[in-house]
Chain A
Amino acid sequence: MANTILVLAETSEGSLKPVSLEAANAAIQLATATGGQVVAGVLSNAPGEAAGLLASTSVSRVLTVTDDALASFTTDAFVAAAQALCAAVQPALVLIPATTSGRDYAPALAATLSAVSAADATEITASGDGYAAVRPVYGGKMLSRVDLPAGKLAIVTLRPGSYEKAATNPDAAPIEAIDAAIPAPRVRVEGLLQDAGGGSVKLEEAEVIVSGGRGLKEPQNFAVVEQLAEALNGVVGASRAVVDAGWRKHHEQVGQTGRTVSPRLYVAVGISGAVQHVVGMQGSEYIVAINRDPDAPIFKIASFGIVGDLFEVVPAVVDALNASA
């Protein structure tokens, strides 16, 4: 059992979040390389559908913890449920999606179990008898490799979009329910305030999105982004930094706690490409980046990058588009 990898899946209103299948795939690849087995755990008030999907991948078995306290996220309930699964499975490694929930309870679980940990990994591999996780540092400009020594439980959160989803396997894995004592969480959930939305075209449905970030320097400078969006028949998006600063509305925010978009064309103007932004747009078919910092992480995922002053480049692009129309 020393090589067992436990994947803790996340659901949203009973549906499996896609990043859970990515984590399952990372675990399956790792287990294939090291000769271990993968167990998927589902923490939910209604785990049925998610458990079924996970059972149809190459995991060995699926365990469920069902409790009404798991209907919405609290650290206490998720740590308690994860602890019960760890006790049942005795894994060497626990993989958790690096969502806002995962990044909240994974370090609490690690501290509770005195485990070693790595947050927001983009790659997880075997290293000697232990594991190594590659993770972004310095705002995504650089990477670092964290060595997780053998002999200690390792808990790693996996950044969304780092792996493909696990392929289906016709041999369905068995599903078992695990009993867990979930204490009343100290944090009480009172509700979820949905984003009021707005805008004429929803960002998720747009074919072309032109987003602006802090590089625009002043809110009124968003005009250049709007002009480029108009020239490309696209809609305007924004980075978290400019929404926080009050320049743009939250319904335009692309990123981890904003919209997740996958248009045909995504143009990032004056956006450095911090992890929190990239997870919301990396599924775009083509990414164009305009930024003056050649080290900006956005260039690492750009299909077409221009290093330059956006206040010169963007108007020139608008002129060239209008001239060729």
Chain B
Amino acid sequence: MAYQIVVLVRQVPDLNAARINHSTGEIQFSGQMVINSFDDYAIEEAIRLKEAHGGEITVVSAGPAGAKDAIVRALAMGADKGVLVNIDGADKLDALALAGVLAEAVKPLSPDIILCGQMSDDFGAGEVGPAVAVALGIAQVSSATLVTANGSTLTILRDTEDGKQQVSVDTPVLIMAMTGLNEPRYPSLKGIMAAKKKPVESVAPPAVPASQTTWSAPFTQERDAAGVLVQDVPAAEAAKQLVAWLKEKKLA
């Protein structure tokens, strides 16, 4: 059975290049935007399902014009086409509002399988996937670490605190990709060239959705005052201080 697959992707600030300014308590980004790391697993899984069973992969994202870069990266990895729902300030939408926008864009595609990341690297809420599943009236499976497809039935392993839960579900279904689901490929040069010819449709949302919740600018957490922090000293000196502390606490 060939699958109609949708992958939801999101562009996030490059956290590896972010620095926290401790005097102002603000986080400073490099301006570099990257694809959400969990989404790489979702894209890879979609490509593997297509390679094994056939079908078509549409990548859907909601964001400003620049979010097209995340879609193009997915196309370079092997997805077929993209839809960008053009919204400035998509990162000010709460999960329910964003899910409404995404569900509207996904619905006409009638996917058998929707894949998305377990959560985003920046806000890390993991709420959009379930809200999209509810909006579309389809089943959801989170924390997926293995997906096996057999016709319209998928067998999935979910990572839980008690072990790996094995479930089966019929399409259509939304699957949230956990790290370790697969080994995401890097786009090849050939893939990057091919992606330039793949279609990316840019659409406006039918209505600008309203957010019910608002949130503050990020702020830094106070360090536990009881802790000792050693920095800007040579390794040997730091080691000496640690060993003295371990002995004082009778840990060594």
Binding site for B on A (CB under 8 A): 12, 72-76, 99-101, 103-105, 107-108, 110-112, 114, 116-120, 135-139, 141-149, 152, 186-195, 208, 231-232, 240-241, 243-244, 256-257, 260, 264-265, 275, 286, 288, 294-295, 297, 299-309, 312-313, 316-317, 319-321, 324
Contact = CB atoms under 8 A, between A and B. Distances in A.
A68 B139 CA distance: 20
13 contacts: A108-B131, A111-B96, A119-B124, A138-B122, A143-B219, A143-B221, A186-B170, A193-B164, A241-B179, A257-B161, A303-B228, A307-B232, A316-B239
Bin chain B's interface residue count.
35 or more
A316 to B, nearest CB: 4
A313 B239 contact: yes
A189 B167 contact: yes
* 10 nearest A-B residue pairs (beta carbon): A316-B239, A244-B180, A142-B218, A307-B231, A312-B235, A111-B134, A186-B139, A107-B127, A119-B125, A107-B130
Contacts of B168: 187-188, 190
Given A187-B167, A188-B167, A306-B238, 16 more contacts: A75-B139, A75-B141, A76-B139, A117-B94, A117-B127, A119-B127, A120-B124, A186-B170, A192-B163, A244-B180, A297-B221, A302-B227, A304-B245, A309-B235, A316-B239, A324-B252
A99 B165 CA distance: 14
Contacts of B202: none
B159 to A, nearest CB: 4
**Interface of chain B, main secondary structure:** mixed
B231 to A, nearest CB: 4
Contacts of A119: 124-127
A265 B252 CA distance: 10
A319 B239 CA distance: 9
B140 interface: yes
Contact of B159 (A142, A152, A241, A257): A257
Contact of A110 (B127, B231, B246, B251): B127
Nearest to A317: B239
Most chain-A Cβ atoms within 10 A of its Cβ — which of B131, B179, B243, B249?
B243
A286 B249 contact: yes
B166 interface: yes
Given A101-B160, A144-B215, A188-B169, A107 B126 contact: yes
**Interface of chain A, main secondary structure:** mixed
Given A104-B140, A138-B15, A143-B219, A208 B251 contact: yes
Nearest to B129: A107
Contacts of A256: 161
Contact of A107 (B131, B243, B246): B131
Contacts of B134: 108, 111-112
Interface of B: 15, 18-20, 27, 94-96, 99, 121-131, 133-135, 139-143, 155, 157-170, 173, 179-180, 212-224, 226-233, 235-236, 238-240, 242-243, 245-247, 249, 251-252
B163 to A, nearest CB: 5
Most chain-B Cβ atoms within 10 A of its Cβ — which of A74, A304, A321?
A304
Given A187-B139, A295-B20, A308-B235, A300 B216 contact: no
A55 to B, nearest CB: 25
Contacts of A313: 235, 238-239
Contacts of B173: 186-187
A317 B245 CA distance: 12
A233 to B, nearest CB: 9
A303 B160 CA distance: 29
B142 A104 contact: yes
B230 A307 contact: yes
Contacts of A143: 218-221
B166 A286 contact: no
B142 A137 contact: no
